[in-house]
Chain A
Amino acid sequence: DGGITQSPKYLFRKEGQNVTLSCEQNLNHDAMYWYRQDPGQGLRLIYYSQIVNDFQKGDIAEGYSVSREKKESFPLTVTSAQKNPTAFYLCASQTRQNTGELFFGEGSRLTVL
């Protein structure tokens, strides 16, 4: 089935460690996004990529890094510079050929101890 797969679903890390969250899509979508969600809040955009080997900062990019070496994959690294990394992270994809509907993965919940 076509879709977006995020892994891991749950992740615990110690302060000061970098963490990489995986996002893979087989929808043949050009654009991919990373959002962060805090309890009781809406989603905030971290990074997005419209095409391979290109990505743009969103509203809260500090302390995060991404790469887009393949169309299907858009991993997010939460670095030790991110001051408050505990959150729910959601990856989404979007085709450029249609209306721009976003499709989301199931999310990764990161807890930093």
Chain B
Amino acid sequence: GIQVEQSPPDLILQEGANSTLRCNFSDSVNNLQWFHQNPWGQLINLFYIPSGTKQNGRLSATTVATERYSLLYISSSQTTDSGVYFCAVGSFQKLVFGTGTRLLVSP
């Protein structure tokens, strides 16, 4: 099956810093989504982005489908950005999740 690798596994930032999270995948996909899991376990959908670039406030994402990777950019990080960021890839019906990037933003 499809393999998903996220890097880095852990990231510690000072508030206000920028960061880039990466998701590599092993096969062509028609569905790629980024999620944020807060410290209470709630998963929030950030982006549906099988290709191209999208922006939503301080967050943006780019997927280069031909090279099988996606990047999530967080600018001017805030403490509320802390949590785990997951990339999920696959088909419309079945998504495979990576193991996530754990982000801690300190004041």
Contact = CB atoms under 8 A, between A and B. Distances in A.
A43 B92 contact: no
B94 A102 contact: no
B45 A102 contact: yes
Contact of A106 (B42, B48, B88, B94): B42
Contacts of A23: none
Given A40-B99, A42-B98, A99-B48, A50 B41 contact: no
Contact of B94 (A48, A90, A101): A48
B100 interface: yes
B56 interface: no
B97 interface: yes
A99 B97 CA distance: 18
B42 A45 contact: no
Interface of B: 1, 4, 31, 33, 35, 40-45, 48, 86, 88, 92-95, 97-100
Interface of A: 31, 35, 40-45, 48, 50, 56, 58-59, 88, 90, 92, 99-104, 106-107, 109
